[in-house]
Structure 1
Amino acid sequence: MNKDSSHGFTPSLYELLRLLSLETIYARSNSGSRASTPRKDAHAPDKYAGGDASPRKCDCNVRDGAKSTAGDRGKTGAGVTGSRTGRICHGHKEPAALPAGATNPGLLRHIHNAARFCLPQCFEGAFVSLKQNSTDNWVLGHSLSFSSVSPGGYKVLLSYVDKDKSIKLPYFIMEAAPGGQMSTEIRVGPSQGTRATLVAQIADKEFYSFESIFDAYFNSFTASIIAVNRDFIALHCLKAITEQLSLGAEIVARGHTADVSSASGAGRWANEDHSISATLGNRGLDLCYARAIKPFLTVAALLEVGFSVKKAVATLAYEWRTEEWTVRGSADSDGLVAATLQRALGGKNSQIFCALSALLNHPNDKFRLGFGVTATIT
């Protein structure tokens, strides 16, 4: 969720089609897609958060002051690289296509997913999106957005997923705007237990950001290498010690500012109803807890403590879902209150969806409201 109190967030078509499309809409119960919910199915939490998909936000709309998504470490700088926002642009993972046991523990940057998937992803303004599914593997999308805070306008999206393969790779997605801004992601599987991802953002006729991610899955162990421009490189590893307990570590080396390089340890304990995860390093502490109270209700608590910035932020969040709609809400110690509603219009099998977003900043007395409609044509 965008925590900038002075600027609204208008989602790119990159996000809208992934968040609100027929296949991944959060208002639907989709037990086969771990990217759309932190649950293993509609009634249980995904205690390992082992899906390939990162949390839902994708900051592919290049804007002034925007940061690389892979380098976003949350509000205070605590936690593992990319653990708070990440990207939703990755293709879905089929567990059978990975080595046995690879979903436990999953990737380190997803260690907090069970709690952070409860956070609402707010946006500002209004948008209308159209997704056109073709008979082959290509999908064409269109989006028109309006906002009084951030730039709007028309965007077009083109994506490719090999539906004939169980792992749905290679995966390609591109978003372009008339102003010359472009975002592209390519994802391939060199082998059964490896995934390679390249993400490029172009603005003003030059590369604004270039990211490369390599993930390796083994039996009960995963490792990742994340490189962003020439700014930093991160090394991740996560090992399943028991069925409930996983331990890992992260090392981040920065090219220009070695003083902010970091090392941290991570751990997670989880069962069918609870998930507790934590990361602790020289930059800060990140602690998350999630619990499934009822079949359609999950509550979460998050605490981030930044040692260098001397700041702590606590957040309470919930997710309440049914077959046709999903409500997410959160409130934090900074005075930000947020909520989103995502609903399928015309029933759970409908191909028209709407989204409502509200963000209230109590300290600044500012309010942001968003509304969007997405339709799918087959």
Structure 2
Amino acid sequence: MSDKNTKTFLPNLLNFKLIETLYATSNSPPREEVEDKKPCHNLKKCERPCKCHSDTTKSGVGNRGKTGAGVTGSRSGCAFDKQSDELPAGATYPGLLRYIHNAARYRLPHCFEGGCVSVKQNQKNNWILGHSLSFSSVSPGGYKLLLSYLDKKKPIGLPYFVMEAAPGGQMSCEVRMGPTQSTRATVVTQIADSEFYSFESILDAYFNSFTASVIAVNREFIALHYLQAVTEQISLGAEVVARGHSVELSSASGAARWSTEEQTVSVTLGNRGLDLCYARAIRPYLNVAAMLEVGFAIRHAVATLAYEWREEQWTVKGSIDSDGLVGATLQRALGGQRAQLACALSALLNHPNNKFRLGFGITAAIH
């Protein structure tokens, strides 16, 4: 909904597994600690998208949500939700509002440029150590160190901690905790040039048939979310964003989602724009999505078509939009005895500017 995304640069490349099956009814991208009422049909075959340069996607395919109404925080990175086994008996759980469009948006390829080599080392004491070395001509590269903690003995993996540091002094840190069984608190901070560049705090509350969230970013704005499960297939919600320094950018919007086992339709409509998303599972290995974003203030609309083709050892994602951007990614599992290896290829073509970007990444998960 807001024209400015929350700034979360935490790495995704070091967190992905090798194979994934995700259907249209999923509310969020899968992850080891992902929590959702309707997860993918086989969580043992999940992976995270390879985003060697998360900042490069700002100008490429997969960065939808700036034009239309959107939902604050919905494009800030990883998605987390609540496991159904912690819900009361008979509860109808709608998920979080900021993930309402994820069934369609997760089909978009996360294109990157340059090269990236990453290694993730799983420790026995719940700690994970990662190393990343990237090269790019359009974005800052270099070496990054990632340290994360996840309590593997708990179903929801809380508390959760991840830190990324670069030799230049840049650092980002995310901490997630569960103060109570029905609440989740998240704090994300970024430090650059010896100053706090960004500070984001999120509080999520889960109830039998609805969820509520409070999102605050720096001193710029605060957003209130509410999503109610009317039936098992229909959910309705609302968002209010208040900005202190730019009152004219404050906004309000309503949201709705209709979801079945085969398809999902979600819409967000507010005073700043419209987001309309549709996702459908045509085959167990093929998913398609269509997205329309209309910005009332900027008088601009973008339509996007995307597909996702998954087999046992590889995944292909592609998309094309009305702005002339065509992108595709290929992820391939390479196997290995002591280390699981995977590679990713990315291609992005900007027809209006006649520019082409190519990326290659390789990841090793050492056990």
TM-score tier, shorter chain, comes to 0.7 to 0.9
Report the Cα distance in structure 2 between the residues aligned to 1:365 and 1:62, rounded to whole angstroms. Answer: 21
- The 1:92–1:174 alpha-carbon spacing in structure 2 relative to 1, beyond 3 Å, is farther
One-letter amino acid matched to 1:274 = Q
1:325 shift after superposition: 1.2
Aligned Cα root-mean-square deviation (Å): 3.0
* 8 A contact 2:21–2:285 mirrored in 1: no
1:122-162 CA-to-partner distances (Å, cap 9, x unmatched) read 11100111111111111110011011111110000000011
1:51 aligned residue: none
* 8 A contact 1:155–1:177 mirrored in 2: yes
Q: Residue 76 in 1 paired to residue 67 in 2?
A: yes
Q: Residue 165 in 1 paired to residue 164 in 2?
A: no
Q: What SS does the aligned partner of 1:259 have? A: helix
1:91-144 CA-to-partner distances (Å, cap 9, x unmatched) read 674331344566731000000111111011111100111111111111110011
Q: Residue 14 in 1 paired to residue 11 in 2?
A: yes
1:376 shift after superposition: 1.2
1:47 aligned residue: none
Report the Cα distance in structure 2 between the residues aligned to 1:179 and 1:160, rounded to whole angstroms. Answer: 23
* 8 A contact 1:286–1:304 mirrored in 2: yes
Q: Residue 355 in 1 paired to residue 344 in 2?
A: yes
Report the Cα distance in structure 2 between the residues aligned to 1:256 and 1:315, rounded to whole angstroms. Answer: 33
Q: How many residues align?
A: 345
1:183 aligned residue: 172
- The 1:194–1:103 alpha-carbon spacing in structure 2 relative to 1, beyond 3 Å, is farther
**2:29 pairs with 31, 35, 43, which one?**
35
1:7 aligned residue: none
Q: Residue 114 in 1 paired to residue 137 in 2?
A: no
Unpaired runs of 5+ in structure 1? Answer: 1-10, 45-54, 67-71
Matches within 5 A, 1:1-378: 14-18=11-15, 20=16, 22=17, 25=18, 27-29=19-21, 35-36=29-30, 40-42=39-41, 74-83=65-74, 85-88=75-78, 93-100=82-89, 104-346=93-335, 351-378=340-367
1:57 shift after superposition: 9.0
Report the Cα distance in structure 1 between the residues aligned to 2:312 and 2:147, rounded to whole angstroms. Answer: 29
1:12 shift after superposition: 7.1
When normalised by structure 1's length, the TM-score is: 0.84
1:80 shift after superposition: 1.3
2:4 aligned residue: none
Sequence identity, in percent?
Answer: 66
Unpaired runs of 5+ in structure 2? Answer: 1-7
* 8 A contact 1:344–1:350 mirrored in 2: no
1:233 shift after superposition: 0.2
Report the Cα distance in structure 1 between the residues aligned to 2:206 and 2:230, rounded to whole angstroms. Answer: 15
- The 1:348–1:218 alpha-carbon spacing in structure 2 relative to 1, beyond 3 Å, is farther
* 8 A contact 2:239–2:253 mirrored in 1: yes
* 8 A contact 1:141–1:157 mirrored in 2: yes
* 8 A contact 1:155–1:178 mirrored in 2: yes
Moved beyond 2 Å, runs of 4+: 27-44, 55-63, 90-95, 97-104, 346-350
